[in-house]
């Protein structure tokens, strides 16, 4: 695979068009016009399974993310030429996640992220009561519509197969696109992790004190595959960082919004689990898992002509969380009585806000909280 020779591949760059947008946004701060909260179709809505829960729909107009790639694709477009390039997708069930916690991770944060990951599979096999709708599993359904050339769909089920904690910062507190592969090599060699080419995802999560090459300036997360020369194998992997201290207004949007909008705007939305950095990571993790599963070797589903900078099924819908998103609106999302914002429900009563995913059926961004 020719990608092996590229020293710095750029798959799935979350937030590509970096500095230009940031600068133009900063310049426009001079005119800091107060933004209004525009609430469309606001209603008190008891249509959840749980009638005691009062949920309202909101679609606030927010200042744009400090960095953004995909505004040009907002909503639907016939111009999006997402194509299949004949490579594999992750179709074996379940998809096995090998989780690497790099740095210092409080248990409560680990639990929150694991609750999200464990909410992706349909719940029938579990003893616990099924989550409320719309659920995280409903959200993943869009991803499972992608198939390979044999007609096999991306798997609907996903399992945390193993975990490994690298609390000693084995490769320092500043990682690069290459050294993150050494972190994975460590985990594979020091044996808690098997080599799972077929349906494994090696997911590296860095704590908020860990820097990563291009983090905040060009990416919030990325996925690729390891180089045999570094790890011994070609393994699909993803990295996502906790941006809570470094750049929440970039990578934990809309729970933090660019400061230049200051005072006048509606301000940031309240995160569903009370942690801007970790709640912000959840949507980025969802984005990367969706793209990795439909494009694990970067030769399956993507748009654009340049395989070194593919536009993938998450990139196309960045910043969209509900119906009516685009042009500064994030779309219709839910707000509970405590004011927490979410658009899907997970196991153990959890709520999450995850971005929408491009649907090959609708040829548009889609999510289970869509209002018809
Ligand atoms: C598999 O994907 C096809 C094409 O998107 C879709 O029509 C079908 O419903 C999917 N099957 C399952 C089991 O999800």
pLDDT tens column, 24-36 = 333 333 333 333 3
Is the CB of residue 157 below 6 angstroms from any atom belonging to ligand 1? no
Give me the pLDDT at residue 50, please. Answer: 52
Tell me the mean pLDDT in the region 182-204: 91
Is pLDDT above 60 for 127?
yes
Is pLDDT above 50 for 8?
no
H or E segment and range at residue 109:
helix 107-118
Q: Which residue has the tokens 């390891």?
A: 226
pLDDT, mean over the chain: 84
Q: Which atom of ligand 1 is nearest to the CA of 153?
A: 1
Give me the pLDDT at residue 306, please. Answer: 81
Please state whether beta strands 351-352 and 344-345 pair in parallel, antiparallel, or not at all (unpaired).
antiparallel
Give me the pLDDT at residue 27, please. Answer: 32
Query: At 364, is the secondary structure helix, strand, or coil?
Result: strand
**Relative orientation angle of helices 276-294 and 107-118, to the nearest 10 degrees:** 40
Q: Domains of the chain: which residue ranges?
A: 15-22+33-366
Other beta carbons within 10 Å of 143? 28
Is the CB of residue 153 below 6 angstroms from any atom belonging to ligand 1? yes
Gap from CA of 153 to ligand 1 centroid (Å) = 6
**Higher pLDDT residue, 52 or 8?**
52
357 in Cβ contact with 366 (< 8 Å): yes
21 in Cβ contact with 249 (< 8 Å): no
Distance in angstroms (rounded) separating the CA atoms of residues 257 and 259: 6
Closest alpha carbon to 302 in 289, 314, 312, 294 = 312
Tell me the mean pLDDT in the region 117-134: 84
Tell me the mean pLDDT in the region 341-362: 96
Tell me the mean pLDDT in the region 149-168: 96
**Higher pLDDT residue, 254 or 51?**
254
Read out DSSP for 155-223? Answer: PS-EEEEEEEEETT-TT-SEE-TTHHHHHHHHHHHTSSS---TTTEEEEEEE-TT-EETTBTTTBSEEE
Distance in angstroms (rounded) separating the CA atoms of residues 285 and 196: 20
Is the CB of residue 360 below 6 angstroms from any atom belonging to ligand 1? yes
Distance in angstroms (rounded) separating the CA atoms of residues 82 and 321: 20
Q: Which atom of ligand 1 is nearest to the CA of 361?
A: 5
Distance in angstroms (rounded) separating the CA atoms of residues 117 and 282: 9
Share of the chain above pLDDT 90, in %: 68
Closest alpha carbon to 352 in 342, 362, 360, 361 = 342
Q: What angle do CA 280, 283, 288 make, to 5 degrees?
A: 125
Is pLDDT above 70 for 303?
yes
Other beta carbons within 10 Å of 164? 20
pLDDT tens, position by position, 208-229? 999 999 999 989 999 999 999 9
Q: Which atom of ligand 1 is nearest to the CA of 147?
A: 2
Distance in angstroms (rounded) separating the CA atoms of residues 242 and 246: 8
Read out DSSP for 265-304? Answer: S--PPBPTTS-HHHHHHHHHHHHHHHHHHH-TTSSSEEES
Is pLDDT above 60 for 267?
yes
Q: Which of 100-109, 114-123, 159-168, 304-313 has the lowest mean pLDDT?
A: 304-313
Phi then psi dihedrals of residue 177, to 5 deg: -60, -25
Give the best-scoring range by mean pLDDT among 121-130, 154-163, 185-194, 258-267.
Answer: 154-163
pTM confidence score: 0.85
pLDDT tens, position by position, 161-190? 999 999 999 999 999 999 999 999 999 988
pLDDT tens, position by position, 273-294? 999 999 999 999 999 999 999 9
Is pLDDT above 90 for 96?
yes
Is the CB of residue 213 below 6 angstroms from any atom belonging to ligand 1? no
H or E segment and range at residue 249:
helix 248-251
The residue nearest atom 4 of ligand 1, judged by CA position, is: 145
pLDDT tens, position by position, 50-79? 544 688 999 988 887 766 544 344 445 666
């Amino acid at each position: 695979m020719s990608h092996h020779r590229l020293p710095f591949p750029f798959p799935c760059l979350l937030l590509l068009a970096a500095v230009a947008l940031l600068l133009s946004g900063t310049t426009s701060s001079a005119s800091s016009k107060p933004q209004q909260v525009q609430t469309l179709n606001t209603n008190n809505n008891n249509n959840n399974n749980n009638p005691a829960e009062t949920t309202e729909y909101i679609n606030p107009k927010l200042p744009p993310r400090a960095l953004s790639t995909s505004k040009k694709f907002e909503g639907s477009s016939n111009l999006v030429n997402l194509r299949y390039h004949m490579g594999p997708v992750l179709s074996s069930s379940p998809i096995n996640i090998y989780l690497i916690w790099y740095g210092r991770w409080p248990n409560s944060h680990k639990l929150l992220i694991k609750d999200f990951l464990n909410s992706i599979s349909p719940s029938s096999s579990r003893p616990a009561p099924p989550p409320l709708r719309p659920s995280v599993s409903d959200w993943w359904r869009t991803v499972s519509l992608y198939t390979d050339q044999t007609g096999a769909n991306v798997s609907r089920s996903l399992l945390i197969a193993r975990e490994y904690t690298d609390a000693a910062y084995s490769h320092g507190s500043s990682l690069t696109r290459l050294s993150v592969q050494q972190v994975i090599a460590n985990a594979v060699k020091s044996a808690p992790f098997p080599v799972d080419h077929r349906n494994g995802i090696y997911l590296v999560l860095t704590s908020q004190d860990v820097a990563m090459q291009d983090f905040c300036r060009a990416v919030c997360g990325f996925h690729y595959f390891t180089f045999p020369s570094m790890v011994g194998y070609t393994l699909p992997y993803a990295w996502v960082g906790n941006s809570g201290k470094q750049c929440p207004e970039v990578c934990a949007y809309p729970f933090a919004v660019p400061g230049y909008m200051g005072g006048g705007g509606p301000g940031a939305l309240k995160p569903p689990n009370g942690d801007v950095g970790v709640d912000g990571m959840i949507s980025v993790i969802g984005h990367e898992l969706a793209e990795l599963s439909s494009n694990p070797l970067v030769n399956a589903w993507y748009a654009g002509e340049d395989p070194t900078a593919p536009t993938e099924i998450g990139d196309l819908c960045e910043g969209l969380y509900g119906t009516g998103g685009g042009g500064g609106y994030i779309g219709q999302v839910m707000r509970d009585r405590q004011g927490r914002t979410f658009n899907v429900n997970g196991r153990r009563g959890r709520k999450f806000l995850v971005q929408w995913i491009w649907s090959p059926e609708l040829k548009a961004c889609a999510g289970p909280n869509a209002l018809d």
